Structure 1
């Protein structure tokens, strides 16, 4: 039986969370529902339909583009398979209608590439013979799994480089919404920066969208006008990188390699790759062994830092990469207390290491981060 410590290190639910959700640990090390139905029946590739529901346009060169590459990897791995997708699905009743449409079209598996909550959950409950996955999902079912990435580790690494390259220590962040992925990203970034610049701060501006180039550009401009000299964010496009390029500042990006939009400003990017995950899950669905899993894809296995930008000094890259190597080879975690929130309250006791689930569900800002907590 795999240990609780090893389970946490690999990115699966911790045992306390698993028990609370009615989940059990299988011999393979994957968390499954305690009362899961039998694996769904096998499907021939040429008779299968795999559907993808996206939060943004597949042309965004960011988050949705990365998931679309995963769909293309599935098509390449299983010749003859049929795929379908809908992009820019709103967070409304229209989402429910679209997911129901996938089911009515005969989809054998549906991937929601963002968190659609009840809009997806209600559809999955009524379609027990369809396998569902929700990226960044929170409510598992016997036929609904969840997956996400441990982005906080490469973000911490990028934060080290950002802190070293910031003359003022004033960092800026273009946020979508005050959600856990934003809290864990901002906190990890500043914690990394403070290892080389203890007085560094991070100012955030939320634009209430995952994809809005105009709003992201305006937010990036405002942050630079407020004195920030390195920008970071979680946007699905290159708006604030172009602002940094035009203003002679620096930026760290998300999702993909976007350096061509700001080659002098580009430090790195938190890059995601879901190809292997999608191919594996579709393969299990086709062969008749699929039941839902709940996974946080690790650094080096779904998320990582991008190659360093051309203007990153060699000594800065080496310092940051030394920490990345320690994470990869020794299981090092920098998320160890004492950690205080933005109001000075101790949230993580001295010597206590945050679990993967605590990092995944992070919903408060650390000292030095402003703009997310009102």
Structure 2
């Protein structure tokens, strides 16, 4: 099958069918020593399972852009993909069909837990990668971006730009990736404006523009003058533009949807990671591991919006410089929403701890 072929979920279930650099921080070594045979580029098939449509303009589009850059490096490589893979037994059938189609590497661009692990366990000769995963086996690894640093930097700008000291966050699900994003943004804001609070409204979807619009409108009505979130569409930026508010986005540059309101975005670039992983698989050197894509190397803040005052951009970027130099802003004391100290003075939350964050920080409402 030539090119970046789409296998629809209907076909798969029927059993039919055929920048930012990348600094990698190994987070967990593979427990086994599995080796995969080298592959000729023209004989390789890489399969991708996406959580949303590749045209969503957000998370899945960011992965698709990375894949397209990877394919320019390996022009003879064959790829297939399925969009909007559900979090259900259907996912298992889709990943199993990838294996049946002859894929030597299967990459899930979201967390599918046991749905992908069960397939990987039964296909030891296939390399599997799971974005936002948690487990490493002989042939299953995970990768994720340390987006909390970019969120913190943007939060600094939010804390300096808000007039009401009320930030609004359009959330999706109360999972660690969302919790870390919201917490980091609020902590960044509080570092320069301790009076800042954040109200979260979760819409129980990664891509639901109507629900995101309703949530953003409710947050604006409650007095929030700076909106942020983690959705895959620009809906709440449109609300901010219409109501004269400021907003920070996720995944890609979305300023065209609200040029007067756009502050920045947590921008993603998976291309270098995909290039490295595919090259390792082709040469027979791939090994399962857990990998973080770090600030400036796979994830970063976007170019500041046109209406961000230069002095505010400079203060936020000074924080970015310190983080890049090795300083972490996630140092105690850090209290939870009830006021209880969760990170003691002098203690540091490392990336693994932030990756598993399951409690809201002080000043947060509506998150967990």
TM-score, structure 2 as length reference: 0.92
Deviation at residue 37 of structure 1 after TM alignment? 3.3
* Residue 253 (structure 1) aligns with: 249
Cα distance between partner residues in 2 of 1:11 and 1:367: 30
Deviation at residue 274 of structure 1 after TM alignment? 0.3
Alignment check: 8 A CA contact 2:34 2:138 kept = no
1:137-216 to structure 2, matched below 5 A, reads: 137-216=133-212
Cα distance between partner residues in 2 of 1:360 and 1:112: 18
Query: Is the partner of 1:342 in helix, strand or coil?
Result: coil
Deviations 1:330-370 (A, max 9, x none): 20101111111111111101111111110111110000011
1:256 and 1:98, CA in 2 relative to 1: closer, same or farther beyond 3 A?
same
1:1-374 to structure 2, matched below 5 A, reads: 11-13=25-27, 31-34=28-31, 36-328=32-324, 330-373=325-368
Listed as ranges, the gaps of 5+ residues in structure 1 are: 1-8, 14-30
Deviation at residue 38 of structure 1 after TM alignment? 2.8
Alignment check: 8 A CA contact 1:11 1:150 kept = no
Alignment check: 8 A CA contact 1:155 1:188 kept = yes
Deviations 1:109-145 (A, max 9, x none): 0110000111111011000000000000012211000
Cα distance between partner residues in 1 of 2:314 and 2:200: 28
Deviations 1:176-216 (A, max 9, x none): 10011111111110111012211100000011111111111
Alignment check: 8 A CA contact 2:199 2:365 kept = yes
Query: Is the partner of 2:51 in helix, strand or coil?
Result: coil
* Residue 12 (structure 2) aligns with: none
Give every structure 1 segment of 4 or more consecutive aligned residues whose post-TM-superposition deviation is greater than 3 Å.
Answer: 9-12
Question: How many corresponding residue pairs?
Answer: 346
Deviation at residue 11 of structure 1 after TM alignment? 4.0
Cα distance between partner residues in 2 of 1:326 and 1:106: 46
Query: Is the partner of 2:120 in helix, strand or coil?
Result: helix
Cα distance between partner residues in 2 of 1:366 and 1:84: 41
Query: Is the partner of 2:191 in helix, strand or coil?
Result: coil
Query: Is the partner of 1:332 in helix, strand or coil?
Result: coil
Cα distance between partner residues in 1 of 2:311 and 2:272: 33
Deviation at residue 75 of structure 1 after TM alignment? 1.3
Alignment check: 8 A CA contact 1:11 1:356 kept = no
Query: Is the partner of 1:122 in helix, strand or coil?
Result: helix
Deviations 1:211-244 (A, max 9, x none): 1111111111111011100000000110000000
Query: Is the partner of 1:194 in helix, strand or coil?
Result: helix
Listed as ranges, the gaps of 5+ residues in structure 2 are: 1-22
Cα distance between partner residues in 1 of 2:319 and 2:192: 12
